[in-house]
Structure 1
Amino acid sequence: MEEVIDLKKLFKILRKRIYLILSLTIAAIGITAALSYFVITPIYQAQTQILVNQKANDQEAYAQAQQLETDLQLINTYNVIIKSPAILNKVIDKLDLNITTEMLAEQIIVSSESNSKVVNIKVLDTDLEKAISISNTVVNVFKEEIPKLMSVDNINILSEAKISKDSSPVKPNKLLNILMGAVIGFVISVGFALLLEFLDSTIKTESDIEKFLALPVMGLVGAFPTEKKYKSRKARRT
């Protein structure tokens, strides 16, 4: 028969090991905070936006609606072209970057909302100024090369990446890391406390004798007084 532990007994075990649980939890918080603030390299993000839109002319309403649909369909293609070697090789050459196109592609995030002609280009790097430079160069190179690659000219730059007063790292999220460290530390410490309790096979009470040795308790011996208590009793008698 499996041993069932009720909530009262579980709470008693946790209260008994409370100092161990608190110590391990605080240690986990301290380690996570130290890693987040002093070890993990901060990552900055720079973002530019482009608008996919043909130049206005005197087209009829039907032709304009058809062109809108065409622009939306082209966005998925543009998202792939932006991270292609045809664009990134020129970016690497212009900025004299000592990385491969695959490494640069991993730093770039291209996204667009559904049915939106605005494309967001984000660049992650440990250096904020470098991230901004890469982001702006990618957009400019893409705008120059897309007419040659696809014979279309429907790219407009909405916004360029710039350094702002609140340009803080996007990674690591220090507060989130510390909270996660606290939760993980607490879970591990509780598990460790329970493990210590279950591995402890020493007999402490008369109920333990009946439980583990299957022997009836015939009598109890009171606790012997300590030397200090014994002397105090002896002094009172005299």
Structure 2
Amino acid sequence: MEETISLKDIYQTIRKRLLIIVFITIVAVAISGVVSYFVLTPVYQSSTQILVNQEKSNKNGPDYNQVQTNVQMVNTYSVIIKSPAILSKVINNLNLNTTVEGLTNKLTINSEQESQVFNVTVQDPDPAMAVKIANNIADTFKDEIPSIMNINNVSVLSKAELKENPSPVKPNPMLNMAIALVVGLMTGVGLAFLLEYLDNTLKTEQDIENFLELPVLGTIPKMTANEEKDPSYRRKAV
């Protein structure tokens, strides 16, 4: 016989296992909060902008072809700025205790579509160091690109600055706790239905009816300890 689950069955299952669901959810949120606030290291972010501008020309106004060439060169510059030719010099300039690969993992290059400007973003546990690295990368790239590409059309549009009260970009405790809340609820509900599925004991008249597929004709009331000792109650029962 094919079994079906109604909304009423789902509601009753959740209601019966509500304490388990709530407990798992609270534990998940608490663990996420503790890890986010006390275990994970805060990471700060700093950015600088680099402009790929057109070379000086005797023409009045911008040269459209030159602008398009500069836009296309942004992708090439994004690769060069992550190369050992640039990052190794940055490491030496700042005496960083890291490798080129390690510094690359902290570095993100973003550029707007059809734009001559690209952003150099650095993430580091030390906000002041993130600012220093970002600015040094931009300055080193500007100084080295003429010898690498035999072209001089790069300028630093804006430098990274250290804010008075910098805020970490990660971890995001509230987001982590919100995710833990959803995961905890899903886990609790899933466990509730699993326990309900594995529980094959008969506890109510409805369970007996469903198991035997027969109606209940009568029930025997449960007697308390005082009622069992009371002779008058036993006479009434007889």
Q: Distance in 2 between matches of 1:177 and 1:2?
A: 41
Confirm or deny: 8 A CA contact 1:54 1:153 kept in the other structure.
no
- Secondary structure of the equivalent of 1:48? strand
Counterpart in the other structure of 1:35? 35
Instruction: Classify the secondary structure of the residue corresponding to 1:90.
Output: helix
CA 1:64 to 1:13, structure 2 compared with 1: closer, same or farther past 3 Å?
same
* Secondary structure of residue in 2 paired with 1:170: coil
Q: CA deviation at 1:206?
A: 3.3
- 1:21 is matched with 21
Quote the Cα distance in structure 2 between the aligned partners of 1:232 and 1:218: 28
Deviations 1:161-187 (A, max 9, x none): 111134200001111111000000011
Q: Work out the CA distance in 1 between the residues paired with 2:37 and 2:102.
A: 26
Larger deviation, residues 21-30 vs 212-221: 212-221
**1:102–1:219 CA distance, 2 compared to 1 (3 A):** same
TM-score, structure 2 as length reference: 0.90
SS of residue matched to 1:115: coil
- CA deviation after TM superposition for structure 1 residue 218, in Å: 5.4
Q: Which residue of 2 aligns with 1:47?
A: 47
Letter of the 2:7 partner, please give it: L
Structural mapping, 1:91-106, within 5 Å:
91-106=90-105
Cα distance in 2 for residues equivalent to 1:73 and 1:48: 20
Q: How many residues align?
A: 234
The letter of the residue matching 1:50 is: I
Gaps of 5+ in 2: none
Name the TM-score, length of structure 1 as normaliser: 0.90
Displacement of 1:212 in angstroms is 3.2
Distance 2:89 2:221 in 1: 88
Mapped to 1, the partners of 2:33 and 2:153 lie a distance apart of 48
Aligned pairs (5 A) from 1:137-176: 137-176=136-175
Q: Tell me if 1:71 matches 2:60.
A: no
What do residues 111-158 of structure 1 show as CA deviations (whole Å, max 9, x unaligned)?
100111111000011111111111111111100000000111111111
- How big is each residue's C-alpha offset from its partner over 1:7-39, in whole Å with a ceiling of 9 and x where there is no partner? 011101111111111111111111111111111
| Secondary structure class of the residue paired with 1:161 | coil
SS of the equivalent of 1:204 reads coil
Alignment partners' CA distance in 2, 1:2 and 1:106: 55
Alpha-carbon distance in 2 for matches of 1:210, 1:56: 91
Q: Counterparts of 1:189-208 in structure 2 under 5 Å?
A: 189-208=188-207
Match in the other structure for 2:4: 4
Kindly provide the amino acid, as one letter, of the partner of residue 76 in structure 2: T
Whole-angstrom CA distance in 2 between matches of 1:37 and 1:218: 60
Distance in 1 of aligned mates of 2:227 and 2:14: 32
**CA apart distance, 1:216:** 6.8
* Cα pair distance change 1:189/1:160, threshold 3 Å: same
